[in-house]
Amino acid sequence: MARKFSNVSLIGKFQSADGSETVLELARFLRGRGMESWIEQGTAGGIGKAADDFVAATYEEIADKADLVVVVGGDGTLLNAARRLGERAVPLVGVNLGRLGFLTDLPRASACQQLGKILDGHYHAESRFMLDAEVTRGGNRIFHTLVLNDVVVNRGNLGRMIELELMVDDVFVYHLRSDGMIVATPTGSTAYALAANGPILHPGVGGIALVPLCPAELTARPITLPDSCRIEIVLMPPHDARIHFDGAAYCDVRAGDQLRIVRSALEVRLLHPEGYGYFAMLREKLHWGAAIQRP
């Protein structure tokens, strides 16, 4: 049964003129349908006086009250919203202002029309799992966050390789000399991991991809693990490094620091326009050729 929506909140790409215009257009469209529409506080501040006619709300208020969140921007904007709203599993719809847009489905030109269909119950819903990532130093937690796309350990500003130790479920896997390692969900398998020759994981696959970055040993290949695994990566002496989470948050780490990653109990709920298909999306975004027409 289609969900009924009363409060629809809007989150826009930071300091984007195109994003501001689209957010206002959507807010007015929602008001015209008699719906309560909030604009995220930072987004409203970037828009300026034109947003004064609408309620400016914090992420916490949106998480508590919104039935649906419309994210205007690229995949990075949606990832940030998903991480900040993840504990409440508010359904998300993405309006694409970026280039590829694997997660943001609605074209800007027809955003109001497509959103209207979703509000009328014509949509495809799916859930994407998240990762729970923490960094410890000397047994003490120094960083913790949720991740929808990927965790990337890289060499930071170093001009040389770093060395990592990989453990899975407390079992030693290998020492790796490389530029780093990507740990990706199926959602993140079409992001940085894809550029590093990692596998594309269908969202229905319960797997986590480990993709080495420029490994010294050519036999260090990408591995897909069950999402029930506990992954631990230790930075070996003597170098420091940096860990990125969904390309937004980061943590500078020292030799001996430990990164632990498990599947989170929390999921992100995405609403796609009716007729959405995963492989159709891949064909469009990755420019895969059509089938050969045989006589």
Amino acid at 21: E
> Which residue among 67, 75, 169, 240 is the active-site one?
75
Per the annotation, the verdict on 75 as an active-site residue is yes
CB 146 within 8 A of CB 132: yes
Question: What string of pLDDT tens digits covers the 295 residues of the chain?
Answer: 467 898 999 999 887 888 899 999 999 999 999 998 999 999 999 999 988 999 999 999 999 999 999 999 999 999 999 988 978 889 999 999 977 789 999 999 999 999 999 999 999 999 999 999 999 999 999 999 999 999 999 998 877 899 999 999 999 999 999 999 999 999 999 999 999 999 999 999 999 999 999 999 989 999 999 999 999 999 999 989 999 999 989 999 999 999 999 999 999 999 999 989 999 999 989 989 766 556 5
The CA–CA distances, whole Å, from 82 to 15, 85, 140, 165, 289 equal: 19, 5, 27, 30, 32
Among candidate residues 217, 214, 198, the one with its CA nearest the CA of residue 158: 214
pTM for this prediction: 0.92
- In order of their start, the domains of the chain are 7-121 (3.40.50.10330), 130-265 (2.60.200.30)
